[in-house]
Structures are given as C-alpha cells and as structure tokens.
Chain A
C-alpha cells in the first residue's frame, strides 16, 4: 500500500467522509476514490455500488482484478426533540444500526429517566451542532413542533447535506416553515429535500408507529441515496 494513500484514507475516515480504496491485485497499485469522483466503465459501476451498499469485494474489470474496500462512515440519526415519538424512535434506530443522539433544550423533556441509554443533549441545537457538526452520513429528524428549536437544525441539516431531513407537522405547518427557511437563506431546492409531513405514509397513528414511519423513511433515504446528492456537502 502506498503510504500517501493510507494517510489520505485515514484522513477521510477521521473526518467521516466516504472513500473506496481500489487495489489492483495484479500489481498491487492502489488509489483512493472519493464519493462523487467519476470513474468510467465497469470499475466505475462497481465503485458506485460499493459506495451505495458499503460492501467491499473483488471485481474483474478491464481484464484486471481489483479489490474495492469501501470505507463508509457509520450513519447516525440526530433527533431534535425529546418527545414521546423520540422515546420509541431511539431504541428502534439503535437496533437497526443507527446510533442516535437527541437534542432538546427543554430540560423537562430531555431527562435520562425518559431516555435511558441514549446520548442526550439538554441544550440548544445551535450549541450542540457547533461542537458536533452534521454531515452527509447523518439523518436529522426535527420533531419538537417548535420553530425556535427546529428551524436552525433543519437549516444546518440542509447545508450539511444530511442524507435524510424530516420535519414533523402538517402540510399547513410545513408551508409556514418553508417561508421561515427561505427567510433564513435556504434555497427552494434545498427545502424540497425536507420530508414533511415526516415519515413514510403507513397510516401511523401512535407515537411508536410514527417512529417506525420515520425510521423506515430514513433507512430508505440512506439505501437509495444518489451519489450526486452528496455535492451539497459544505
């Protein structure tokens, strides 16, 4: 392995950026391909598949055999709102393999008693996201119903190119939210990425069922994400 390739790969991994290490098993030459880089032909198609699935493996292309090692950051879910839905969403998401963090400045909501075994921040999203910025391997669900708390996080999620952005509220509520986000400087095409009303339409009624709808929608967004969408990353 080329020492410079290793250094570059580790930098990407530390920064939670996806990379595929391509090694020619015939001559040992290797190189890093980043998400969004264009690689032509069968090899390019295999690399795109590795980015989408996170699966590593060997591929025969151009008369050579390559090993593709996919290094994808671990996807995670940030939930704005320590509400009833979040109490169901946090354990479900964790079981599905998506570590969860919950942010809610309302200390009556964000208590360890209500959220055992969950990373909980009883702080404003502004403060938490400054420390731990969102990225394209993060899903964000804003479910406080309170613009004071949700709006900043939604704008930050759109700017960071989060693979999923969902916001709780009816179509009417969302129409008002769109106006506020436009005023915050978000573009119309950015705002169109928000899933609102939040969650797949499975007729969810209870908080736990809404949690299922949100989680399923986030998983779908992750597994079907287009590589070009990553161009939005700040």
Chain B
C-alpha cells in the first residue's frame, strides 16, 4: 500500500483533462458530489470524458461509467451541466450481484 506523495500524472483525471484541453479536445468532467450507503468511490472522485467518448478516472467501480459517459457527450454538446443520480433501483446502474447497494450523485459539467 505504498502511495507516492506526488501526483500520478499519467492516471490523474484532472491532469489528463487539462492535457486533452490543450490538445484542442472538448472535455466534460464528472464529479461524485454525494454518496449514501456504501459507495465504491469517495465524494470528490472524477471521471473525465472527451467528445469521442474516451474516458479516464472513475466515479464508481465501473457500474455507472457507461451511463455517465453517454450523458457527458450530451453535456459537451449543449454546454449545460447535469446532476445525475444513481441508486440501487436503477437498472442501468447497479447490477444485481453488486454488493454496493449505495446511491451516488454525479455532477457532470463541460470544461470551458
């Protein structure tokens, strides 16, 4: 469990988002803003998405990333931020068999 005291720049979502922006890409940033119950990623975690649907980082253990990416493309198009909520009852989100059983709120905004 050795952690570096410095940023892991190759995998850090916010560093990657800045790099994409410098490359002229359109970028959306998704952030976990609230969690209830057991959630796999803590509040403040990021998923960053470009207009082609490439993504880095995570807002869950892989459960809702697909849905967030789809919404992010829309956010990039319209420039209008969205608040997404995923819970145990949402079929597109938490699959049966996952032990999480939590709920998360994800804020998706365009960069710039």
Contact = CB atoms under 8 A, between A and B. Distances in A.
Q: Do A and B bind each other?
A: yes
B31 A67 contact: yes
Contacts of A70: 44
B75 to A, nearest CB: 10
B96 interface: no
Given A3-B21, A25-B83, A13 B111 contact: no
A56 B43 contact: yes
A69 B31 contact: yes
Interface in A1-29: 1-3, 6-7, 9-10, 13-14, 16, 23, 25, 28
Contacts of B14: 6, 9-10, 13
A114 interface: no
A76 B34 contact: no
A169 interface: no
Nearest to A30: B109
A111 interface: no
B109 A69 contact: no
A23 B107 contact: yes
Interface in B1-30: 1-7, 9, 12, 14-15, 17-18, 21, 29
A94 interface: yes
Interface of B: 1-7, 9, 12, 14-15, 17-18, 21, 29, 31, 33-34, 42-44, 81, 83, 107, 109-112
13 contacts: A1-B29, A1-B110, A3-B21, A6-B21, A10-B18, A14-B6, A14-B9, A16-B6, A56-B43, A73-B5, A74-B3, A76-B5, A94-B1
Interface of A: 1-3, 6-7, 9-10, 13-14, 16, 23, 25, 28, 55-58, 67, 69-70, 73-74, 76, 94, 99, 117
